[in-house]
Amino acid sequence: MKKRLLAVLSGVALGVGLILAFTSPPDLLQGDFVRILYIHVPSAWLAFLAFGVTAAGSIGWLFTRRMSWDRAAEASAEIGVLFTAIALATGMIWGKPVWGTYWDWGDARLATTAMMFFVYLGYLALRRTTTDPRLRARRSSVLGAVAVVQVPLVYFSVKLWRTLHQGLTIRPDGIQMDGAMVAALMANLAAFTLLYATLLIYRTALARIEEAAASERAPARSPVTVPRLGEAEA
């Protein structure tokens, strides 16, 4: 029941976010293309959050060996990869009319985000190679804990390098945006966070069912049979 309520809540929040994104004023320079950022920024934020949760789940598994940590890590990584792909795609779609190109190697944020995407694709590929849940958790928890190093690198890339990507908009000294735009952005951030929580809960539950089904399917360990004469296979 709580899961369903959360799903409905995130659906409503996404609807509100969408309305605000379309009714907020256009940007002076970017025009209506600024609306892409109401999806792009929350997707990027969700990716950071998701990979942080993957790291926490991995470290949690390393210390406690409880499978629930591993399930959360896996579910969060899958969602993170999905939202990183959305952030990359929307960034490129926005980049073409505003920067004049889909991809610019001079943009450190873009390059490091793509790297982060590949790291977590590798994480998911590693998980697919092992069917035994405990062995899979052992292998992937190490990678999940190490891979999170990409997150601060992506976040601070705009500070570390001179880059085409804009700097931090929301800073301790104030927000460099119009009030209506900030409202639309914040509403979408909240909506995407709710969506993440919903997806995480459902995917974790699914992983639990998958594990239970896999353990039921597993064959019994080498049964000892009574030796009989004349039944040897040709």
Q: Which residues would be at the binding site for other proteins (CB under 8 A)?
A: 59, 62, 112, 115-116, 118-119, 122-123, 125-126, 129-130, 135, 138-143, 145-147, 149-150, 153, 160
Pick the closer one to other proteins by CB: 5 or 160.
160
Residue 165 beta carbon to other proteins: minimum distance, rounded to whole angstroms: 16
| DSSP one-letter string for the chain | -HHHHHHHHHHHHHHHHHHHHHHSPPBTTTBGGGGGHHHHHHHHHHHHHHHHHHHHHHHHHHHH--HHHHHHHHHHHHHHHHHHHHHHHHHHHHHHHHHSSS--TT-HHHHHHHHHHHHHHHHHHHHHT--SHHHHHHHHHHHHHHHTTHHHHHHHHHHHS--SS---SEETTEE-S-HHHHHHHHHHHHHHHHHHHHHHHHHHHHHHHHHHHHHHHSPPS-------TT----
CB of 62 to other proteins, least distance (A): 6
Whichever of 84 and 188 has its CB closer to other proteins, that residue is 84
Shortest distance, position 93 Cβ to other proteins, whole Å: 24
CB nearer to other proteins: pick between 149 and 212: 149
**Shortest reach from residue 83's CB to other proteins, in Å:** 18
Beta carbon of residue 57, minimum distance to other proteins (angstroms, whole number): 14
35 or 71: CB nearest other proteins = 71
Residue 115 or 206 with smaller CB distance to other proteins: 115
